[in-house]
Chain A
Amino acid sequence: MASYFKRLKKDLDASSAAGIITQEQAQKVFEQAKAASLLGGMKAAHWIAGAAGIFIALGVILVVASNWDKLGANLKIGAYLLLFGAAAEGSLAAEDKPSVSIPLELLWFFMPVIGIGLYAQIFQLSGDPVKPYLAWAVLSSPLAFLSKRNFTAFLTTLLLFAVLFMGTLGRVNMLSLTSGYEQAAQPVAHWILALAVLAGAVFTHLIKNPERGYGLPLGAGLAWLLSMMLADTALKLHSPATLLLAGMSASVIWLACGSEGAEIESKLPLTVWTAAVYAMTFFWHYKPDLENMRDADSAPGAVLTWALLAAALAALTLKKQRVFPNELGEAALGKSLLAASILCAFLLFGGGQETAKFLAVIANFILAALGLGLIMGGAKASSEKNINRGVAVLTITAVTRFIDIFGSMLTSGFAFIGTGLGFAGLAYLVNKGRKALIEQVKK
């Protein structure tokens, strides 16, 4: 950030010297930009006061910690309730001073879990490991909904998703969905509670942070569903083919429905989809685990997989493609690549090594088409960024295949030297091609 302000100051001074703006305007623009940054308004006196506050707080914490055993339960509880009230009241009273109000509201959000931990320590309480976190989410949710700011709601959403993953994948707690210790699947009540937590997370996000879109809850929800299909739950999928179909369908749904916005290329869904296709290229080495494949997929898991496939195909038909930015005008290619990435999972249904190799080849072609599409589209639309992205996709794919194919031969020193020279040559050629394209775009 500091370097940004240095550059801004330099640019403003240059503009002022060139007579574009006055010296006074340059100064005002710089002050305005600095004041708007998170720590920009901090003067030297503030930093010294902040340091003093941190040292005093650390001192108090150390004194309290070293005498912790000598403090009675009543004193600890009283001090906790006072701190709780003071933090919350301070946050409300200083509402128009964000530098005070935001840290205090953050402390208010964390006070319930601090209290739960403190009471457990004082009264030697133990029990379900998920319950304290769920209680924290319930106790903090009114603050999340009623606060004028959105960050406590965002933290509540993250907390609920964390509880959902931690609880449902755990073996012994009120949300456990994995079977454990040779027992059958967990009770229906656990599923109902897990779905309620999921709904709570989605609801909190959509009500309090609608401007963020539904990418986060959709992605987290789909990731949770896939984890349930992978783990030993009632949705367990044993067949790699069904798992791949479910995974690719989910990533396409997330990409199609969860990445709305102008700067789509910088968002996570596209990276995840690209990574998933990249992972598919490794099916070249696939060896069917016949022992494990004898178990059939669970019926609910199979039904959900087909539902995901249907939803992915519907999203492909009804939604805009999100592989290539609109400016590149490669809509048909984008949709084709997405469809191919899902449908090639069917090649694995035969369970053979040969069809798996074919699947890996298709995945390589998808990546190559993606890279070329980005480069060509980028050249047409004068977008350096997309050209660079396309080159990156092609380079990573090429380097991986190089190691894949020649990896086993890299046993002698000469082979290593040869490989190094090969990489150097590749890097030179790729960079030369990239620069030529960018120059062409600039003309």
Chain B
Amino acid sequence: MKRLRIVLGLQLLFFAGWAGYLMVSRSASTPEFYLETTPVDPRDLISGTYVALNYEISDPRAGSCAELSRSELAFYVKLDDRGKTAVTAQGQVPVYQVTDCSREASYAPGWARADVEIGRGVKYGIERFYLNEGDPRKDARSGSVLAKVKIGSDRKLFLLDLVKKI
């Protein structure tokens, strides 16, 4: 009984700690920006309805990106404003693009971690946006929405919102 209570304590500690880590990492003082995305809408067994998102940055070509996509299992991409914009309800917003890639971790602003999935491009951990069944964004067409993201304290991208283009 005592050992099971210790197990329970450790399980609760794990979930409380994980929640704390995710909250702290997501609230890092880094800028929020937008990414071009192509959604489809499958469903997840344990988390419910979501929109599956593919990004332009999932197939990075700038600098050494193409080579690193083939040779590495993970690397870092530099996301930057190169003048591309889109119009949303909040007005005109910049749409970030990949400008460079590096094998080494960089803690300079704009660098995010990318994981390579063999034959399927790179993934950033922002490929799903969970929403309600009745949310109109569930049926968003390709090119009609932007992903609002920010880079967490551990260089991972966090998906904050899915914003409709006007």
Give residues in A with beta carbon < 8 Å to B: 68-69, 73, 77, 80-81, 84-85, 88-89, 92, 95, 108, 111-121, 123-127, 132, 139, 142-143, 146-147, 172, 180-183
Chain A residue with the shortest CB-CB distance to B117? A172
Q: Is B41 an interface residue (CB 8 A)?
A: no
Residues B26 and A123 in contact, CB atoms below 8 Å apart:
yes
Residues of B within 8 A of A119 (CB): 15, 18-19, 22
Residues B159 and A124 in contact, CB atoms below 8 Å apart:
yes
Q: A124-B129, A125-B22 are in contact. List 13 more A-B contacts (CB 8 A).
A: A73-B23, A81-B12, A88-B4, A89-B8, A111-B11, A123-B22, A123-B158, A125-B128, A127-B123, A127-B125, A142-B10, A143-B7, A146-B4
Give residues in B with beta carbon < 8 Å to A: 1, 3-5, 7-8, 10-12, 14-16, 18-19, 22-23, 26, 44, 46-48, 115, 117-120, 123, 125-130, 132, 158-160
Measured CB to CB, the closest approach of chain B to A78, in angstroms, equals: 9
Secondary structure of the B side of the interface? mixed
Cα–Cα distance between A126 and B128 once the two chains are bound (Å): 6
Chain B residue with the shortest CB-CB distance to A115? B15
Measured CB to CB, the closest approach of chain B to A145, in angstroms, equals: 9
Measured CB to CB, the closest approach of chain A to B21, in angstroms, equals: 10
Cα–Cα distance between A55 and B130 once the two chains are bound (Å): 28
Chain A residue with the shortest CB-CB distance to B152? A123
Please pick, from B1, B23, B119, B159, the residue contacting A182 in the complex, using a CB distance under 8 A: B119
Residues A125 and B125 in contact, CB atoms below 8 Å apart:
yes
Residues of A within 8 A of B158 (CB): 123-124
Residues of B within 8 A of A112 (CB): 11, 15
Residues B119 and A183 in contact, CB atoms below 8 Å apart:
yes
Chain B residue with the shortest CB-CB distance to A108? B8
Residues of B within 8 A of A125 (CB): 22, 125, 128
Please pick, from A120, A121, A146, A180, the residue contacting B3 in the complex, using a CB distance under 8 A: A146
Residues of A within 8 A of B12 (CB): 81, 84-85
Measured CB to CB, the closest approach of chain A to B40, in angstroms, equals: 13
Residues of B within 8 A of A118 (CB): 47
Please pick, from B19, B118, B129, the residue contacting A172 in the complex, using a CB distance under 8 A: B118
| 7 A-B residue pairs with CB within 8 Å | A112-B15, A120-B46, A121-B130, A123-B158, A126-B128, A146-B7, A147-B4
Known: A180-B118, A181-B120. A120 touches B15 (CB 8 A): no
Measured CB to CB, the closest approach of chain B to A124, in angstroms, equals: 4
Known: A89-B8, A119-B18. A124 touches B119 (CB 8 A): no
Q: Which of B4, B22, B128, B160 has the most CB of A within 10 A?
A: B4
Residues B118 and A116 in contact, CB atoms below 8 Å apart:
no
Residues B46 and A116 in contact, CB atoms below 8 Å apart:
yes
Residues of A within 8 A of B18 (CB): 119
Please pick, from A73, A124, A183, the residue contacting B128 in the complex, using a CB distance under 8 A: A124
Residues A113 and B22 in contact, CB atoms below 8 Å apart:
no
Residues B126 and A117 in contact, CB atoms below 8 Å apart:
no
Cα–Cα distance between A116 and B18 once the two chains are bound (Å): 10
Residues A142 and B7 in contact, CB atoms below 8 Å apart:
yes
Residues A77 and B128 in contact, CB atoms below 8 Å apart:
no
Cα–Cα distance between A182 and B159 once the two chains are bound (Å): 31
Residues B26 and A121 in contact, CB atoms below 8 Å apart:
no
Cα–Cα distance between A84 and B120 once the two chains are bound (Å): 37
Cα–Cα distance between A95 and B23 once the two chains are bound (Å): 36
Measured CB to CB, the closest approach of chain B to A37, in angstroms, equals: 28
Residues A85 and B47 in contact, CB atoms below 8 Å apart:
no
Chain B residue with the shortest CB-CB distance to A127? B125
Cα–Cα distance between A108 and B3 once the two chains are bound (Å): 15
Residues of B within 8 A of A95 (CB): 1
Residues of B within 8 A of A132 (CB): 46
Known: A132-B46, A142-B7, A181-B119. A84 touches B128 (CB 8 A): no
Cα–Cα distance between A120 and B128 once the two chains are bound (Å): 9
Known: A120-B46, A124-B126. A69 touches B119 (CB 8 A): no
Residues of B within 8 A of A126 (CB): 123, 125-128
